[in-house]
Amino acid sequence: MERKRIPVVERILSANDRLAANNRERLQRHGITTINIMSSPGAGKTTLLLATIRALGETCKIGVIEGDVASQVDADKIAQAGVPVVQINTGGGCHLDATMVQQALEALPLDEIQLLFIENVGNLICPAGFDLGQDYNVALLSVPEGHDKPYKYPSMFEFVDVVLVTKTDLMPYMDFELAEFRRLVQGLNPRAPVIPLSARTGEGMEAWLEWLKTAVKGK
């Protein structure tokens, strides 16, 4: 007897995409620009967000959804910066999905937010496959991780709108070839700019902030 193939993965992703479309429509009704930030653990997502909040907090109403396997350490840091934040704990899941974001939106004052950051779970593989309802995707790669990661995790770099090289203050101490990294990223995704920066020292932050301002205006 011939077995019928059941496309389970396709069905799951299709359901997620429908919910993501609902999230996107809801966020657009409120005039919110939404940024999905992805990286491996420890690349500096929260540090970047805190520096961004300090730089734009007076001129832009910011909100944050924090995704982690467990704990709310990062959400507590964001809350101390004075912006609304919701924590999502996946309980072992390696990425956020549209259902989780939909639930988080219920707890945010959407009428008081212009720019929403979704800090995804630290992972260079799983988050790339799940639409959340965002407008833009941002990938971070820290200098200590090495410049060869586009070889190993191409799906993360193929679809993002911008790539940030973080912790550039460590560049003198690491074997990180920025020109080679830029070449690898551009080979996968010619439209994505590569912005090197250090949220700790502020070097390169202006280019990131300008990209954000353009993204919000272009919404």
Q: 154: pLDDT confidence band, cut at 50, 70 and 90?
A: very high
Query: Please, what is the angle between helix 8-29 and helix 98-105, to 10°?
Result: 30
> Is pLDDT larger for residue 174 or for residue 219?
174
**Could you list the residue range(s) of the whole structural domain that residue 127 is in?**
8-217
- The proportion of the chain whose per-residue pLDDT surpasses 90, expressed as a percent, equals 86
**2 is a domain residue:** no
pLDDT attached to residue 14: 85
pLDDT attached to residue 218: 73
Q: pLDDT tens for residues 53-78?
A: 999 988 999 999 999 998 899 999 99
User: What's the mean pLDDT in 101-127?
Assistant: 96
Query: Please, what is the angle between helix 45-56 and helix 205-217, to 10°?
Result: 70
- Name residue, tokens 């959400």: 75
Q: pLDDT tens for residues 24-33?
A: 999 999 999 9
Query: What is the value of pTM for the model shown?
Result: 0.93
**1 is a domain residue:** no
Q: Specify the CATH number for the domain of residue 199.
A: 3.40.50.300
pLDDT attached to residue 217: 80
Work out how many domains the chain is built from and give that number.
Answer: 1
DSSP lists the bridge partners of residue 38 as 139
**59 is a domain residue:** yes
